[in-house]
Amino acid sequence: MIRIANGQGFWGDWLEAPVRLVEQGPIDYLALDYLAEITMSILQKQKEADPSLGYARDFPPLIARIQRRLREREIKVIANAGGVNPIACALEVRRVAPSLKVAVVLGDDVSGRLDEFLAAGHAMKNMDTGEPLSTIRDRILSANAYIGAFPLAEALEAGADVVIAGRCTDTALSLAPMIHRFGWKPEEWDKLAAGTIAGHIVECGAQCTGGNCQVDWQSIPDMANIGYPIIEAEPDGRFNITKHEGTGGRVSVDVVKEQLLYELGDPKNYITPDCVADFTSIQLKDAGPDRVQVSDIRGGPRPEMLKLSIAYSYGWKAIGTLVYSAPQALEKSKAADRIVRERLDQLGLKFEEIYTEFFGVNACHGPVAVPNPDPPEVQVRIGVRGQDRKAVDRFTRELIPLVLSGPPTGTGFGDGRPPVREVVAYWPALIPRELIQTSVEVVE
């Protein structure tokens, strides 16, 4: 049995979680998941501004902080913190933690190969709309293929203490140690599916140990010290989900079921680069305090295509807010919205979208919200999006004047005009698997 912990569910997750995982009890592997689709484009823009950046900058200081424990307990780290610049990330880790052996997995970044793919007849159509990639070619910011667990397992085979990848799948971070330690083969579909589902359960960190939980959330104990998840994996594919003893949170069948539904489409065909997992085959059983046993998982052959995560520029946006207090807080907020829209129209400014929300009334639940005709305060949030940056910037100058020239009791404007930000859109596409070649490099 091996113990695989996940200490980060996204870039920005609790900094203390991985530290506590290596200090509060035994684990063999520490998985850290930093990437989301939008994160890749943010990192690409950082790299364009500074070639030494483009990775999750929280990662090297974390490794420096826990390096002694990693050595003492022989814990291996697997992370996708490399973003669009895994080599730079690895060099920084080596600088701050020189006693650790670091390996990187390369090959997912295909930004420089898109024209090659197009010339070869691969349209890379948007999986949602069917549009060909050529329609946005000049606006692309980043392009990465989702790679699976076997290249990460290869890096572990090379003896790395820290494995750094770019855009691997979230589940690969936990599946790779099982492939490495148990010697699972590429066609052992049921075992690979089991490791994939284990990775899916823990990929969002504390979301499977009681965080963000809808089931009796008020009874979740000690959320300030919530324990992050640990997979107890067996060579035959069975595993338990648990957490360190004495930590906060809760691991139960109900909590694990909630996480299983996360980002799930067809439950019989959960597609990854490593296999297709059948979520309807999963058997769950409470196996003791804060321990859930998972078994009987079935899987099938991996797909012939790999998914591409492509980010491209989609114009500009700005979002501003004001707060109005009672009496007539909602009436004042609606009046402010009308005034802003009328002034924008008088200026002849056109946008692809103008969107207004009334926080404290119906921003979350919309038309099904419980009626609240006279709330004590309302935050009105107005946003615009369009291709003309100057028009968007002009919009940002129309909110603060309402403090004196609009309805009474306006406040919440201390931060000044809202910033204009670039809109980054997501383009999912497919590419034949054989076109993506990965490699592992040990960084000295």
What are the distances in angstroms from CA 216 to CA 242, 250, 255, 292? 19, 11, 10, 18
Q: Phi/psi at 143 (nearest 5 deg)?
A: -150, 120
Evaluate if residue 41 carries a pLDDT over 80: no
Pair of tokens at residue 83: 């973003």
The whole-angstrom separation of Cα 389 and Cα 399 is 17
**311-425 has which CATH code?**
3.30.70
Chain centre to alpha carbon of residue 21: 20
- Sign of CA pseudo-dihedral 160, 163, 164, 167: positive
The whole-angstrom separation of Cα 304 and Cα 434 is 8
Q: Are 66 and 22 in contact (CB under 8 A)?
A: yes
Task: Describe the crossing of helices 16-23 and 59-73 by its angle, rounded to 10 degrees.
Answer: 0
pLDDT of 192-208, one tens digit each?
A: 999 999 999 999 999 99
Provide the 10 A C-beta neighbour count for residue 347: 13
Q: How confident is the model at residue 49 (pLDDT cuts 50, 70, 90)?
A: confident
What residues contact residue 323 under an 8 Å CB cut-off, 6+ apart? Answer: 377, 378, 379, 380, 410, 411, 412
The whole-angstrom separation of Cα 203 and Cα 172 is 10
Which pTM does this prediction carry? 0.93
Q: Are 161 and 82 in contact (CB under 8 A)?
A: no
- Residue spans of the domains in the chain: they are 2-108+146-303, 311-425
Question: What is the pLDDT, as a whole number, of residue 214?
Answer: 85
Q: How confident is the model at residue 230 (pLDDT cuts 50, 70, 90)?
A: very high
The whole-angstrom separation of Cα 177 and Cα 159 is 12
Evaluate if residue 37 carries a pLDDT over 80: no
Pair of tokens at residue 406: 């609009």
Q: Are 235 and 3 in contact (CB under 8 A)?
A: no
pLDDT of 259-318, one tens digit each?
A: 999 989 999 999 999 999 999 999 999 999 999 999 999 999 999 999 999 989 999 999
Evaluate if residue 1 carries a pLDDT over 80: yes
